[in-house]
Amino acid sequence: MSQPSISVPGYSIHHRLGKGGMAEVYLATEQALQRQVALKVLLHREDAAFTQRFIKEGHTVASLQHPSIITIYRIDQLDDGRHFLAMEYLAGGDLAQYKGQRLEPARALRIVRQIASALALVHDKGLVHRDIKPGNILFRDDGTAVLSDFGVAKQLLLDSELTQSGIAVGSPAYSSPEQAQCQALDARSDIYSLGVILLEMLSGHNPFRGGNYTQTLMNQLQLEAPPLPESLGELQWLLDRMLAKDPEDRFADCHVLLASLDELQDADQDQTRLSPAVSLPPRPSRRRWLPWAVLGLLLLAVGSTGGYYWQLQQRIAGLLALAETRLSEGHLLTPAQDNADYYFRQTLALDEDNQQANDGLQRVLQARIQQYLDLAEQRLAEGLLILPEDDSAVHYFRQVLGWEPDNLLALAGINRVAQRFIEQSEAAYARREYNLALEQIKQGLEAEPDNERLLALYDSHEQRVRQAASRPRSAQPAQQNPIKRLLNNLFD
């Protein structure tokens, strides 16, 4: 397979992780420190305003030192003048990978707490993120949630520009009502977006997502969030405050939100306390009884400890058995709180060094990788190469590469998609459908931007069209009138 066409001094480029309207992100290894990084590179250098915003994003994130905010290592330029950011590479994927799944409440609240803690620092610096969505919440290998993509973050005092431009910046399915109306924003807008994410994690879907952009914005303005099921009733007040349509009815800031999360955690903690110490009878006057009393206490302590250890081991064995059963049944992440991933992680919560649980999580990951490879092959057979974005061959191959960057089957799959576009473009050239041929080439480059054959086709397209135009079309047989053809058949 061809190497990426981009070259950045000091870095070994592996492959592209994703692409947006103005920038693309590559997985690379920083040669000096031999660590994996994500390189965010501008697509163009002509847009001075966007370049300044890109540089500002790097400076903004670099100034925010927090365990749940992505780390920026370097801001620099390529030889062709384009800027790039070298940042922390997070191999755990993003929250969007759990779309349609219900997360256990404890995990959902842990994610909200970590992101709210990051946002508290962002807001204290006088900034508002404005694009809180699952795709911008990434995970480290240890499960820590990390906030990323500050490309549309803006100082609170300057946010009136949004109202003047009349452009709703952000993702509509997670936008606050005031953001949908292009009004000035503050920290409470980010809290609303985080509330939508919490609702989606708990219920498995986003009720505000409409059939189109306009309907989604209208839902944010008018649609009340559905109540949580009875089993999650203790979280309803938290969700109602975060998703209040009027900003004045929400939490005033993320510090208040974090304090409310602490209260919720305290209320849920186990209320049991250690029982009072065993009362001993008055000490006999004769000291010979003291050793026996001490021995009795030691035996009681040893017996209690042994009983607890036995119960703990029984609990761990039960969790591991459930995990193995669910894994064999193919229940990797669903249903919520009754799947292989859940039981293996519950085991590690009791015994963080449990090797069987750690091995089990690796087997869950490998099973997920195989599922996504199978889905990718199905979409490839169906001709769904790059669309729809979240259900295409390229989508599933890239999900696999997010978990396992060197997976040969996924890398080869991306290359096969590119080859399919090469074939389709050549077929379009043969039919003199030049615009279609160019479109096929561009889509192929979306799948594999460093494919040498596609790049050569793109570079030679205009010359190829001119050469074809200079050649006369081959004579085409005249189309006979169908009625005349019928009469001829009758009388011949």
Query: pLDDT for 111-128, tens place per residue?
Result: 999 999 999 999 998 888
Looking at the predicted structure, is the pLDDT value of residue 486 above 70? no
Least confident segment among 119-123, 208-212, 238-242, 291-295? 291-295
Cα–Cα distance, 12 to 4 (Å, whole number): 10
As annotated, the active-site residues are: 131
Separation of CA 78 from chain center: 28
Least confident segment among 255-259, 402-406, 454-458? 402-406
Cα–Cα distance, 60 to 151 (Å, whole number): 9
Average pLDDT over every residue of 183-202: 94
Query: pLDDT for 15-28, tens place per residue?
Result: 988 877 678 899 99
- Cβ neighbours of residue 436 closer than 8 Å, sequence gap 6 or more: 428
CA angle 192, 194, 200 (to 5 degrees): 105
Is residue 19 a known part of a binding site?
no
Cα–Cα distance, 118 to 124 (Å, whole number): 10
pLDDT on residue 61:
82
Burial of 288 from C-beta contacts in 10 A (0-12 / 13-18 / 19+): exposed
pLDDT on residue 352:
85
pLDDT on residue 163:
35
DSSP letter, residue 250: S
pLDDT on residue 97:
92
Domains of the chain: 11-88 (3.30.200.20), 95-225+233-266 (1.10.510.10), 309-353 (no CATH), 370-470 (1.25.40)
| Backbone phi and psi for residue 209, each to the nearest 5 degrees, phi listed first | -70, 115
E strand spans, 43-192: 72-77, 83-88, 127-128, 137-139, 145-147, 154-155
pLDDT on residue 402:
87
Q: Are 91 and 103 in contact (CB under 8 A)?
A: no
Query: pLDDT for 22-61, tens place per residue?
Result: 788 999 999 999 999 999 988 877 677 778 877 887 888 8
Least confident segment among 148-152, 255-259, 441-445? 148-152
pLDDT on residue 153:
45
Query: pLDDT for 301-337, tens place per residue?
Result: 555 455 556 777 888 888 898 889 889 988 898 887 7
Of the chain, the end-to-end C-alpha distance in Å amounts to 61
Q: Are 4 and 13 in contact (CB under 8 A)?
A: yes
Least confident segment among 201-205, 224-228, 263-267, 447-451? 263-267
Mean pLDDT score across all residues of the chain:
82
What tokens does 396 get?
A: 């599933």
Cα–Cα distance, 365 to 387 (Å, whole number): 25
Q: Are 255 and 120 in contact (CB under 8 A)?
A: yes
Query: pLDDT for 369-404, tens place per residue?
Result: 999 999 999 999 999 999 888 899 999 999 999 888
For residue 451, the one-letter residue type is N
Average pLDDT over every residue of 171-176: 90
Strand, coil or helix: 376: helix
Split at pLDDT 50, 70, 90, the class of 469 is confident
pLDDT on residue 468:
84
Helix runs in 204-330, H state only: 213-222, 236-242, 254-268, 290-329
pTM above 0.85, yes or no: no
